[in-house]
Structure 1
Amino acid sequence: MGGVQKVETAAVSNAALAQPSKPSTLTDTELAAIVKAQLTAGQNVLVVVNKYTAALFSGSSDTGPWAIACAGELGTEFFAVAKAKSIAKRLWVHNTLEPKPWALDPSALPKNQLVVTQLTSWMKSLDGRHGHASPETKAKVAGLAANRCQFAGCGEDLSAHLVTGRAGNFSYFAHIIAASEDGPRGHATLSAQLADAPDNFLLLCDKCHRLVDKVDPDSYPTDKLQNMRNDAINEVRRLLDTLRYPEVERLYIVGNVTGQMPHISDRDVDSALWKAKLRSSPKAADSVFSFGGAHHAPHDDAYWPTVFKTLQFDLPLFQSKLNGVGNSGRPRPPLAVFPLHGTSILILAGRILGDMAGTHVFQPHRNKVGEHMETRWAWPDDGVSPAPGKYQVKELKPNTAQSDEAALLVSLTYGITTKRLPSPVVVNDALAMPTLEITVDNPNPAIIRHPDDLVHFGAAVDDALRTLQDTWKVKKVHLFVGAPTSAALLVGQKMQARHQATFYINETLPNGPESVFAPTIAISATAVSAIRNGQSVSLQT
């Protein structure tokens, strides 16, 4: 502070060279409270301060011994405490150029009583808000930051007050390398050279500016702040680039399959869309077939009456959206679909959704160790477009007897063995009717890793359906699906109304991983029916 002797590096004692542990770093408010408490208790307080931060030591007398109390920012609240005449005589100060005042040995430092004139001088030196940034530099820095705080994890809008919303300039242009050699992160030559360089500035809010320059500058070295700046600029650029992406409406087909409803966050969905070079429309996401959070229990007598009661109301609304009636006659909007439900519901939803252009289906991915939940809908970075022939259609039993009934197995997550198939598909552990299987060399839960997986799988489904309906001309198809949610939905999408066969959807009984399949619903060209009670709902618009 002005008028107080400065002791340079030579004053550093052996205690300082031992590099004591860094004390707690506090804000002006917190530091002022400690000073007041120490002085009120009759202690002496020694403030060792450089031009941007301070360390506080306390002692029973003005000669010590001194113990480190804290470090941090000196501001208006500290000065208010220091001006109190009843305690000011026990408040001492030492100015230094050392970047770590808390590392100095207080017993080796000369000190003076703090006086009001010194406080006034110090106050005038605090407002480094605009530093040495020229108007041109400020404009460039603010533009690169999109007027948001660039401190990692903050992002506060600096063009409006956080509480009142009032427009204004609430930004601080913080030097990464200080504008003066004796400032935080100062440098003998670069400080002057980079004083007005745009790439030497961070745009910060008030609290983050105080943190990096006064409260805890030692924790924010030059390289850390430079990386923070680069990350913030790249993130702003990435987010603004999403404005070029096509807009899609979000559709959630999500149900209670594990005993509780899964949560899909907007951030999660937006991340997945941006990675696919899409963006959400301003319209709120539509959620269908949640059935009030009822647990998906397709083999319980009480389940399908509840589902069908809801479908009677949901289906007309869903179909009107898809055919344009619900959009005032406008064309069906591009959709981003996020499916996470039971197999029967996903196949039914796909049948209603249809196989139309402009529908983008996403797949939930199991998290790797250390991954955040926000990334589970985004296509994995290591996903690659599948090689031709990954999805194979195999004829397990030919239709030599011209049967009008057949089975279709979809074995992607696991191989579906004959011991898990019910009668009349299997009799005496052998296939009893014509059967096709869509499969891969290595069935596993993570088989769908790339958008092209759905394209190739869809082509295999088309091939299988052509055989079933155009070549074999069957009227009834027993369908067994062991596949990721996106693939189950796609099977339903391929099940168009023009296909005359009725599909009998099967799901496994809740008796363990090798349990037998049993029928749940039948989907015809005109209706969906529950197998257990015969209740049906029309699929015609």
Structure 2
Amino acid sequence: MSKTHIPERVKIRLWGKAAGRCQYEGCNEPLWKDSLTESEFNTAYVAHIIADSPNGPRGHKILSKKLAKDINNLMLMCDKHHRLIDKEDEDGHPVERLKEMKKNHELRIEMVTSVGVNRKSNVLLYGANIGEHSSPINFEKTTPAMLPNRYPAENPAIELSLKNSLFRDDQDMYWVVERKNLKNQFIDKVKRRIELGDIRHLSVFALAPQPLLIELGVLISDIIQADVYQLHREPADWKWQDGPESFEYIVKEPEQIHDKVALNLSLSATIDNGRIIKVMGDDTSIWTVTIPIPNNDYLKSENQLSKVRTLFRELLNRIKSIHGHDNVIHVFPSIPVAVAIELGRVWMPKADLPLSLYDEKDGFHYTFTIGDTIRSKVIVSQ
């Protein structure tokens, strides 16, 4: 138990640096209220890293007295973590570990509070079942990726997911139900607020089958500003990283021009053209977008995403100019989440050809078409 009277001015500074939250790593509990009753009162403890007594936890015969009132030696903590570091597990909480906790917490608070008021963004979450797996996405795991450039405009986030769905992506009704839900939720929760001027920027986090991600991109479009994020495997987070200095996408044009046209998007994995021909027939012109070594974690930086947006915009125009304005593009995607969303965002309903979207499940299967299907003169038997 501390015997030192901490000056009020030091306590106030410590409260400010900690933003009134417990500085124990992973806790972040607000210390101005009771989490159960929501009653507001001071629940904080001021803990010493080096005890103010040589005989106390982590005490030192010289530093204890010297640092007893030093803010750099003090941490704001909840009751349970104050007890943990001083009584229950003193050995597990050496000086260096506590200093690191304090530093990381205060750096995070400084970073968050330094974001300008015009940098707020509404967080948009969307998940749908992929095979046997659900796709849970939560506010706490996604929003750190926005900092320091953006901060959440509100909590909770805008959630478009169909909760507890029993449908799986190998069922025809899955695509009907999920697509309808996505459209209705977007209109109700996003579009109306955009029209009212309540939403001016979106930060998008999604995990779903690729046709639905493309649909989500179409709904968002490029009318409103949006940052689209990608869940990385290494490290396992949503934060954009520094990408490779030299990076280019590869576009392979078909050798022969047929009425039927397919788009092979081999970025996360390689799609053999034979698999597309099996669905479409031999009389199909296949355009391919790929990279030197397709893999499911290639997309690291915003620059890579920006480049693929530009590529899609030019490629959709070129395919239309060569294959005619009354055609349809059959899309076979193996692409990252963010790339799928951006394909939908750059697609223009009045300017671009309809997109018939396919999903891979023991071979490629048609899901649904985006755009004016009446214009299509190509019908592929499923």
- Provide TM-score, normalisation by structure 1: 0.61
Corresponding position of 2:243: 384
C-alpha contact (below 8 Å) 2:273/2:286 kept by paired residues:
no
Corresponding position of 1:250: 123
Deviations 1:119-170 (A, max 9, x none): xxxxxxx6x36x1322222222232222333333444433334555444444
The letter of the residue matching 1:492 is G
C-alpha contact (below 8 Å) 1:291/1:307 kept by paired residues:
no
**Are 1:394 and 2:252 counterparts?**
yes
**Are 1:455 and 2:319 counterparts?**
no
Instruction: Identify the match of residue 73 of structure 2 among 194, 197, 200.
Output: 200
Corresponding position of 1:3: none
Give matches, 1:235-314, under 5 Å.
Answer: 235-241=108-114, 244=117, 246-274=119-147, 277-282=150-155, 284-288=157-161, 292-297=165-170, 300=171, 303-304=172-173, 307-308=175-176, 311=179
Corresponding position of 2:356: 504
> Take 2:12 and 2:23, find their aligned partners in 1: how far apart are those partners?
15
C-alpha contact (below 8 Å) 2:317/2:352 kept by paired residues:
no
Residues 450 and 280 (structure 1 numbering): CA distance in 2 closer, same or farther, change over 3 Å?
farther
Give matches, 1:142-291, under 5 Å.
Answer: 142-241=15-114, 244=117, 246-274=119-147, 277-282=150-155, 284-288=157-161
> Take 1:274 and 1:140, find their aligned partners in 2: how far apart are those partners?
24
C-alpha contact (below 8 Å) 1:422/1:518 kept by paired residues:
no
**Are 1:318 and 2:190 counterparts?**
no
The letter of the residue matching 1:478 is H
> Take 2:149 and 2:351, find their aligned partners in 1: how far apart are those partners?
32
> Take 1:180 and 1:142, find their aligned partners in 2: how far apart are those partners?
23
Residues 533 and 349 (structure 1 numbering): CA distance in 2 closer, same or farther, change over 3 Å?
farther
In structure 2, runs of 5+ residues without a counterpart are: none
Residues 227 and 287 (structure 1 numbering): CA distance in 2 closer, same or farther, change over 3 Å?
same
> Take 1:522 and 1:164, find their aligned partners in 2: how far apart are those partners?
51
C-alpha contact (below 8 Å) 1:317/1:326 kept by paired residues:
no
Instruction: Identify the match of residue 445 of structure 1 among 296, 304, 314.
Output: 296
Instruction: Identify the match of residue 12 of structure 2 among 130, 134, 139.
Output: 139
Give matches, 1:397-436, under 5 Å.
Answer: 397-399=255-257, 403-422=258-277, 425-427=280-282, 432-436=283-287
> Take 1:213 and 1:173, find their aligned partners in 2: how far apart are those partners?
12
Deviations 1:380-423 (A, max 9, x none): x4x415635x1122213243xxx554222211122222321236
Corresponding position of 1:519: 366
- Provide TM-score, normalisation by structure 2: 0.83
> Take 2:198 and 2:26, find their aligned partners in 1: how far apart are those partners?
40
> Which deviates further from its counterpart, 390-399 or 348-357?
348-357
Deviation at 1:321, TM superposition (A): 5.7
Deviations 1:271-307 (A, max 9, x none): 223366342533542315679341012xx5xx14x64
* Secondary structure of the corresponding residue to residue 358 of structure 2: strand
The letter of the residue matching 2:332 is F
> Take 2:299 and 2:320, find their aligned partners in 1: how far apart are those partners?
27
Residues 527 and 349 (structure 1 numbering): CA distance in 2 closer, same or farther, change over 3 Å?
farther
In structure 1, runs of 5+ residues without a counterpart are: 1-125, 535-541
> Which deviates further from its counterpart, 250-259 or 452-461?
250-259
The letter of the residue matching 2:243 is V
Instruction: Identify the match of residue 209 of structure 2 among 342, 345, 350.
Output: 342
> Take 1:228 and 1:270, find their aligned partners in 2: how far apart are those partners?
20
Deviations 1:160-209 (A, max 9, x none): 34555444444333333333444443433333332322222223334443
How big is the alpha-carbon RMSD for the aligned residues of Structure 1 and Structure 2?
A: 3.5
The letter of the residue matching 2:186 is F
Residues 259 and 215 (structure 1 numbering): CA distance in 2 closer, same or farther, change over 3 Å?
closer
The letter of the residue matching 1:142 is W
Residues 243 and 149 (structure 1 numbering): CA distance in 2 closer, same or farther, change over 3 Å?
farther
- Number of residues paired by the alignment? 379
* Secondary structure of the corresponding residue to residue 352 of structure 1: helix
Give matches, 1:474-489, under 5 Å.
Answer: 474=325, 475-489=327-341
> Take 2:375 and 2:45, find their aligned partners in 1: how far apart are those partners?
63
Corresponding position of 2:226: 359
> Take 2:375 and 2:337, find their aligned partners in 1: how far apart are those partners?
20
Deviation at 1:217, TM superposition (A): 4.1
> Take 2:182 and 2:55, find their aligned partners in 1: how far apart are those partners?
69
* Secondary structure of the corresponding residue to residue 251 of structure 1: strand
CA radius of gyration, larger in = 1
